[in-house]
């Protein structure tokens, strides 16, 4: 860490990591979509370093989340779908990492705000519900389905590496928009997304670590607390109505996007 760089508030970072871990495994959308803006705003971390540090925590959170999911309802993780999505995401992470290095910080921040707004609006149900455009069910042996999953995974990987997310923020709506089964079965959608996020977040973390964007000490402090909430998130997902969870989370994302967009750059001393 640069000596002139403001050190993050560890206590605040731990609280944020716990909230992100809970929502991550509860909704199957990674957690970085919460952790990145909140760490940037309240823990006073530079955004690109936040993206890498967030991925480091998310990988550990998803490991616990997948284990808890296998113990709670293993049938909800469709591993064949998860792995095809992850295959596409593998290439996407390298593209996203390249963009992370090229984008100016201000543009990077505004682009991330756009992602938050789009996801928040969809979670709040403000966009009209559409008919699944690829049918009711998914078949990996169908070339159209396999191609769609690879394309969705590619985009998820780009978003994951670029913004420090796990990729589920793309995978969850992509599955729901295309297939009737996933549109009607949110528990299977979020669980399958967790399976995809596991390898995607690992690759993204390694790429950010090689670029010096991962605060390993902070990850070590946040992880023990976040992992407890990761397991809790899977349990809560089966107790609270999915519609309620999505509305609360959507409102949180819109609030975070507004705060982040209005955030003034730090003054140079």
Please tell me the least confidently modeled range out of 9-13, 21-25, 104-108, 138-142.
Answer: 104-108
Does pLDDT of 223 surpass 90?
A: yes
Does pLDDT of 104 surpass 80?
A: no
Question: What is the chain's length?
Answer: 269
- In terms of average pLDDT, the best of 74-83, 132-141, 198-207 is 74-83
Region label for 129, one of left (φ > 0), alpha (ψ between -120 and 50) or beta (otherwise): beta
Tokens of 4: 């002139």
Number of Cα atoms under 13 Å in the Cβ half of residue 200:
42
Task: Tell me the mean pLDDT in the region 184-189.
Answer: 88
Does pLDDT of 4 surpass 60?
A: no
Query: Which residues, at least 6 apart from 209, have a Cβ–Cβ distance to it below 8 Å?
Result: 52, 56, 216
pLDDT of amino acid 260? 67
CA distance 198 to 61: 9
pLDDT of amino acid 262? 74
Task: Tell me the mean pLDDT in the region 9-37.
Answer: 86
Work out the pLDDT band at 109, boundaries 50, 70, 90: confident
Please tell me the least confidently modeled range out of 21-30, 134-143, 213-222.
Answer: 21-30
pLDDT of amino acid 14? 93
Work out the pLDDT band at 222, boundaries 50, 70, 90: very high
Listed residue (163, 161, 237, 229) closest to 199, CA to CA:
161
Task: Tell me the mean pLDDT in the region 234-254.
Answer: 81
pLDDT of amino acid 266? 46
Per-position DSSP letters for 105-157, written without gaps between them:
HHHHHHHHHHHHHHHHHHHTT-SPP---TT-SS--TTSHHHHHHHHHHHHHHH
pLDDT of amino acid 265? 52
Q: Tens digit of pLDDT for each residue in 127-172?
A: 776 788 888 899 999 999 999 999 999 988 887 777 767 788 788 8
Work out the pLDDT band at 263, boundaries 50, 70, 90: low
Task: Tell me the mean pLDDT in the region 5-30.
Answer: 83
Task: Tell me the mean pLDDT in the region 50-71.
Answer: 92
pLDDT of amino acid 230? 94
């Amino acid at each position: 860490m640069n000596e002139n760089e403001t050190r993050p508030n560890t206590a605040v970072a731990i609280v944020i990591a716990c909230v992100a871990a809970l929502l991550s495994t509860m909704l199957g959308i990674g957690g970085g979509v919460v952790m990145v803006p909140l760490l940037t705003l309240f823990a006073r971390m530079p955004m690109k370093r936040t993206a890498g540090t967030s991925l480091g925590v998310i990988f550990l959170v998803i490991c616990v989340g997948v284990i808890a999911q296998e113990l709670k309802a293993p049938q909800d993780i469709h591993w064949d779908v998860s792995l095809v999505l992850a295959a596409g995401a593998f290439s996407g992470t390298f593209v996203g990492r390249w963009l992370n290095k090229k984008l100016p910080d201000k543009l990077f921040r505004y682009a991330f705000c756009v992602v938050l707004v789009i996801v928040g609006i969809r979670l709040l149900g403000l966009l009209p519900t559409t008919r699944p455009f690829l049918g009711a069910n998914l078949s990996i042996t169908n070339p159209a389905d396999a191609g769609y999953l690879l394309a969705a995974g590619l985009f998820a990987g780009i978003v994951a590496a670029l913004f420090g997310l796990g990729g589920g923020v793309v995978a969850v709506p992509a599955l729901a928009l295309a297939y009737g089964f996933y549109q009607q079965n949110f528990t299977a959608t979020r669980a399958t997304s967790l399976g995809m996020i596991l390898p995607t977040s690992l690759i993204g973390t390694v790429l950010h670590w090689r670029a010096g964007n991962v605060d390993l000490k902070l990850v070590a402090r946040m992880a023990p607390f976040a992992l407890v909430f990761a397991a809790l998130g899977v349990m809560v997902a089966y107790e609270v109505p999915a519609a309620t969870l999505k509305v609360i989370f959507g409102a949180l994302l819109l609030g975070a996007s507004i705060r982040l967009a209005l955030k003034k750059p730090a003054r140079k001393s």
